[in-house]
Amino acid sequence: MTDITMKEYIDEAEKDLLHTYNRFQIVLDKGEGVHLYDLDGKEYLDFVAGIAVFALGYGNKEYNDTLKGQIDKLIHTSNYYYNVPAVEAARALKKFSGMDRVFFTNSGAEAIEGALKTARKYAFLKDGKTDHEIIAMNHSFHGRTMGALSVTGNPHYREAFEPGIGNIKFADYNDLDSVKALVNDKTCAILLETVQGEGGLTPATEEFIKGIRTICDEKDILMILDEIQCGMGRTGYPFAFMKYGIKPDVLTTAKALGCGVPIGAFCMTEKVGQASLVAGDHGTTYGGNPLCCAAAAKVLEIMERDNIPAKAAVAGEYLWEKLEEVKAEFPEIKEHRGTGLMQGLVFDKPVNPIINKALEKGLILINAGSDIIRFVPPLVITKDDIDRMVTILVSAIRENK
């Protein structure tokens, strides 16, 4: 509790912070398990998890103790030196993902930037040219930095900031023919989310993702999979691509990798690692620092030891069943999409009024586009939590008829 009211904090924030977010009118103060609490002590069931970040829930003692111990030991050194947590995190991420080489970043967008540079350097070393093209997907989202924005398949996000990095073409997700139509001798990479997040909670079809893998193999093009949101156990697999029995050349991850601490990574096969970026090609001041890597190493340890992906798969099946029941009750719900603990309900109208009503009732939800409610809770969510969420959701929908 505090002597300053939530409204006073909100008013102060609006004076001091750049208004690039339309924030909900609450000030969150603390978290415990799968619940958050505002400054007034009101409890909220969290089905957002910091946008698919807090996979282990709030207040995990093992995770918190690791961070506290590393803070007292060493927080930052720079990449001119080795540090133990970075080595441990890289080794654990390689095992969890099946990839061979790791570069740690501060965010998902930075991981995308590194993946794009990897693809262009890989192609440059083959032919010495700088006119290579990257194929990305319509309705995709990869981040807000200029490179990531350039491959985000939503013109609304890009229009005020054009021109982007150039030589980007957009195909239709789950339409292999639209990809094939764009491939030429200049194509150096095909980039896609294994499950589209902002674009509508849509998983790749097996035909589509395997077809892209085949194209890339035949033409020595890099297949880049963005698993910043759908990776780290959320779909019931360590990474979503594992469901299809394929492997990317480059993989991006972030969000749940640090469970709240800002860290991302782009990973690659040994073949790509030996034929792309070298000393001087890429760098970061904070990326790979001991504090963030200690967090990632502990997250990966817990994920594997406690079999978190398998538990997420079970919870995801139950969430699917319950949301199917909700869909059957309300004709305004047109579609139910997703997989694991990454699902969405598509409405025939804007969903913000429903989300706001749910917030009043103690449930935190977010949208994915104007007409989709997205469900990306902590991976430690229980059936009882899902039941409670559905009760509040149904009440909120009924009150917004």
Q: Give which of 362, 361, 319, 359 is closest to 337, Cα–Cα.
A: 319
Q: Give which of 248, 249, 296, 234 is closest to 106, Cα–Cα.
A: 296
CATH architecture of the domain formed by 6-60+307-398: Alpha-Beta Complex (3.90)
Mean pLDDT along residues 277-303: 97
Which token pair is 204?
A: 């790749």
Amino acid in position 321: E
Q: Within 10 A of 274 (CB to CB), how many other CB atoms are there?
A: 11
Residue 401 has pLDDT above 80, yes or no: no
Domain with CATH 3.40.640.10 in the chain: 74-305
pTM above 0.85, yes or no: yes
Class in CATH terms, 74-305: alpha beta
Residues 6+ apart with CB under 8 A from 267: 93, 94, 97, 99, 100, 101, 102, 103, 250, 251, 252, 253
> With pLDDT > 90 as the criterion, what percentage of the chain qualifies?
96
Which token pair is 258?
A: 């640090």
Q: What pLDDT, in 10s, does the model give residues 355-376?
A: 999 999 999 999 998 999 999 9
215 Cα distance to chain centroid? 25
Which token pair is 75?
A: 């927080």
pLDDT score, position 4:
86
pLDDT score, position 20:
87
> With pLDDT > 70 as the criterion, what percentage of the chain qualifies?
100
Domain with CATH 3.90.1150.10 in the chain: 6-60+307-398
pLDDT score, position 2:
54
Q: What pLDDT, in 10s, does the model give residues 219-238?
A: 999 999 999 999 999 999 99
Indicate the pLDDT class of residue 1, thresholds 50, 70 and 90.
very low
Q: What pLDDT, in 10s, does the model give residues 65-109?
A: 999 999 999 999 999 999 999 999 999 999 999 999 999 999 999
Q: What pLDDT, in 10s, does the model give residues 313-336?
A: 999 999 999 999 999 999 999 999
